[in-house]
A and B are shown apart, each in its own frame.
Chain A
């Protein structure tokens, strides 16, 4: 069948859904292998300690227990040839203490593995792990980045300092100094990016299956990054890469939390290899909370310099970033992913950014939805609200005065942070958001409440975010000393019967690539999207790929698919011209068929050409049989989606409770393939950012214990906490790729935390509140109100 109406741009229902809606989705814990052993982890219950003795005899004596290995035994068994990898050594002198899947002696965070049990059942592994008795000598714990900076205790006794690296981006120090010297207005924001736990709904898990014939090893893992994992498993275990197959089955969300190379993955592979039996492990939620990496964890200082009208002259930023106990895959680089965005959507003549990374005795940090960019957006957007108050104009006006390009449309604009923004058009986007939110009316309601002395304060918060995604031009990553490229691979092949298989290196875990890629291919080739199958997430089927994270899949991987389609069409055109005895340039390709210009009866559908390419009976001289092409797309630039979000909150002065009354988002991700999917990404992203603003925080005590490691007390929002979300779009195509698309997976999170906290501070401004740390819980809001009131009272007494 051929299709003439464009499919791209329509809200086609997802192909993924029927399986997932009927329980047919195969997630990691659904997959079993004959003879499998269940792995159980013995994890350190203290943050910094030395293991002095392990008594595994009781565990080993239990029925159904196959083996118990201590960390020291594991490290002596020759299971690995290198520590867990850090792919992003951000400076040549970055400290990177070795991190093995299990520790032999010094423990550096709660949850670090000190021994492993293997049992023949799920419950048996838990029983056995509980019976392993471990003695520790406790060492002082460095339980916060502030304590790490203070430096009176060391997180690693092998290091002389807790500081892991210092990373500067100060393109013109003299200009930056002059900007602050010449400023009429300066504001300083000191913000805390609390640690967050990614908590995808599916816990992580692994199943390593050795081939009974020896050699080959298949690792199933609930991972976002099967391709990266394959390289890293080979590099750390010494298993030849060509004997490894990694499969990410249906993956139940990631949000960065499954973007790593984890101890359990290497333990499963190496123990399965040693024992010649499949080894599996599924984390419990509470186990994952402190053993799988966390996100954020930064202390931010941002200073703005502006002239009398509030036009920015300079932005200066310093971060103290919490690495946690070890450098994992991209731990040190996460804060730097945001470094370029502390100038936001604004025209900033002078810019400087520095970051100090510190080790703590807490679970390692790494990517979490937005990875560095929500932090940057939060800092600049909070600081712009501070500047608006300082200058005495509204938050909308301060933004308008500073928008890049004066708020007009621009393309390929260089910024002070050394980036070239592909495209932007900020003023109409702000206008649309203010109109949809009913901004003027909201301000009137706010004033009315204030005039009436209401104890229910209304707050309106704005954020115009920009983000950098579509990771990434390989050269740019090389410049940042990242250990891999940023290209993506795609293949499009016609089968003899006219059906199409698409192979992508992107690795979806909820993003709907099977649907979106089918739409791109269907439109390009003029076929029915139902005739397209998208294959992914298995390195034996899709050998080339760099996986899904950093809002890159469409802007890099989807583009590769479109370009591969174009190559297919180019080849098909030559075959059609040959068989129709026409010049290739005289053929039109419309609705899936080549037709000779002016001779509508001389036509060939592309499926017939595909069959001809398969039989190869009558191809142009020297042409390879079959109709399949591949493309590796390495973008020349990042993409820079943007948008304006408006949060409206009501705060009960007597209880400190913050109610999110409404949320409006006008996003611009360039051209859209499937608006239904775009909107879903926006909704989910927003709620994760709102959750950082109001509810979520990994709370650590002074000894380095995680106090809220479960869904009972780590407050992932339920449907009852959030309102429906108002969405709308502007469309400013990217210049970085031929589809004109930008990423949208992280955008909502990047815009929403700042919008919500700006609303909270806006609500409480008349009470004297100028800032509040996230999450703005009722107790924190109430205490902040009391402190502000006391300060105001004291001020009145003094005056």
Chain B
């Protein structure tokens, strides 16, 4: 069946089986492979994307928990839509959350990173000035095996503008 939605500001569509998971629609049908799959139980959060709610704010969704058809007509943002294009002038500019992850060494292998950035973005849109504990609890649904989370938490606090002690 034809499934159409707006992804990173562009109208996209693909003809897929009704059972197709949103994450496989994004990855296999549209080639948006920045969104990763790390588990099969909705535990790891590597597939986290943003779907715009009625209030116009992107809310984090694990794209392995939704069928593509359930996102028909939705406004979706994936990791590919986070940086700002500079056209021909050079590579895109990282957005503040992405930049904070880079500055704080909040990634190593980078596999959980897209989902982590999306979840952290959603967290700050709900709670712009979180405490360390609020960041940790807020990202509970996103797993990372490399960083021990220390620098991820640091990056999110830094992106929130609070800064953090070493």
Q: Which residues of A contact B (CB under 8 A)?
A: 13-14, 16-27, 29-30, 122-123, 199-203, 250-253, 255, 284-286, 509-512, 676-677, 679-680, 683-688, 710-712, 716-720, 722, 724-725, 748
Number of residues on chain B facing chain A (CB within 8 A): 61
Tell me, rounded to whole Å, the shortest Cβ–Cβ distance linking B70 to chain A. Answer: 17
Task: Tell yes or no: B46 within 8 A of A by CB.
Answer: yes
CB-contact partner of A677 in B44, B105, B149, under 8 A: B105
Name which residue of chain B comes closest to A251, CB basis.
B109
Task: Determine whether the beta carbon of B143 is less than 8 Å from that of A716.
Answer: yes
Task: Determine whether the beta carbon of B147 is less than 8 Å from that of A684.
Answer: yes
| B residues near A13, Cβ cutoff 8 Å | 102-103, 105
| B residues near A286, Cβ cutoff 8 Å | 40-41
Tell me, rounded to whole Å, the shortest Cβ–Cβ distance linking B164 to chain A. Answer: 9
Instruction: Return 10 A-B CB contacts under 8 Å, by A number.
Output: A17-B107, A17-B110, A22-B94, A25-B110, A29-B37, A252-B111, A253-B111, A253-B146, A512-B108, A686-B148
Known: A18-B94, A23-B114, A251-B109. A722 touches B44 (CB 8 A): no
Task: Determine whether the beta carbon of A285 is less than 8 Å from that of B40.
Answer: yes
Task: Determine whether the beta carbon of B148 is less than 8 Å from that of A687.
Answer: yes
Tell me, rounded to whole Å, the shortest Cβ–Cβ distance linking A416 to chain B. Answer: 34
CA–CA, A687 and B82, complex, Å = 29
CA–CA, A512 and B17, complex, Å = 40
Task: Determine whether the beta carbon of A201 is less than 8 Å from that of B111.
Answer: yes
Task: Determine whether the beta carbon of B110 is less than 8 Å from that of A510.
Answer: yes
Known: A201-B112, A718-B142. A680 touches B105 (CB 8 A): yes
Q: Which residues of B contact A (CB under 8 A)?
A: 17, 19-20, 24, 27-28, 32-41, 43-44, 46, 78-80, 82-83, 91-92, 94, 98, 101-103, 105, 107-114, 117, 132, 135-137, 139-154
Task: Determine whether the beta carbon of A510 is less than 8 Å from that of B19.
Answer: no
CB-contact partner of B105 in A251, A676, A710, under 8 A: A676
Known: A21-B94, A253-B146. A719 touches B153 (CB 8 A): yes
| B residues near A719, Cβ cutoff 8 Å | 135-137, 139-140, 142, 144, 149, 152-153
- For chains A and B in complex, what number of residue pairs have CB atoms within 8 angstroms? 186
Task: Determine whether the beta carbon of B109 is less than 8 Å from that of A252.
Answer: yes
CA–CA, A487 and B10, complex, Å = 51
Task: Determine whether the beta carbon of B151 is less than 8 Å from that of A683.
Answer: yes
A20-B107, A25-B34 given. 10 additional CB < 8 A pairs? A20-B110, A21-B101, A21-B107, A22-B80, A123-B24, A253-B146, A510-B146, A680-B146, A710-B41, A719-B149
CB-contact partner of A284 in B17, B35, B40, B145, under 8 A: B40
6 closest A-B pairs by beta carbon, nearest first, are A23-B34, A20-B110, A252-B111, A510-B109, A711-B43, A687-B148
| A residues near B24, Cβ cutoff 8 Å | 122-123
Tell me, rounded to whole Å, the shortest Cβ–Cβ distance linking B46 to chain A. Answer: 6
Name which residue of chain B comes closest to A687, CB basis.
B148
Task: Determine whether the beta carbon of B98 is less than 8 Å from that of A22.
Answer: yes
CB-contact partner of A202 in B35, B109, B141, under 8 A: B109
CA–CA, A672 and B152, complex, Å = 22
| A residues near B139, Cβ cutoff 8 Å | 718-720
Task: Determine whether the beta carbon of B143 is less than 8 Å from that of A725.
Answer: no
Task: Determine whether the beta carbon of A684 is less than 8 Å from that of B146.
Answer: yes
Known: A252-B36, A711-B41. A14 touches B102 (CB 8 A): yes
| A residues near B94, Cβ cutoff 8 Å | 18, 21-22
| A residues near B46, Cβ cutoff 8 Å | 201
Task: Determine whether the beta carbon of A23 is less than 8 Å from that of B39.
Answer: no
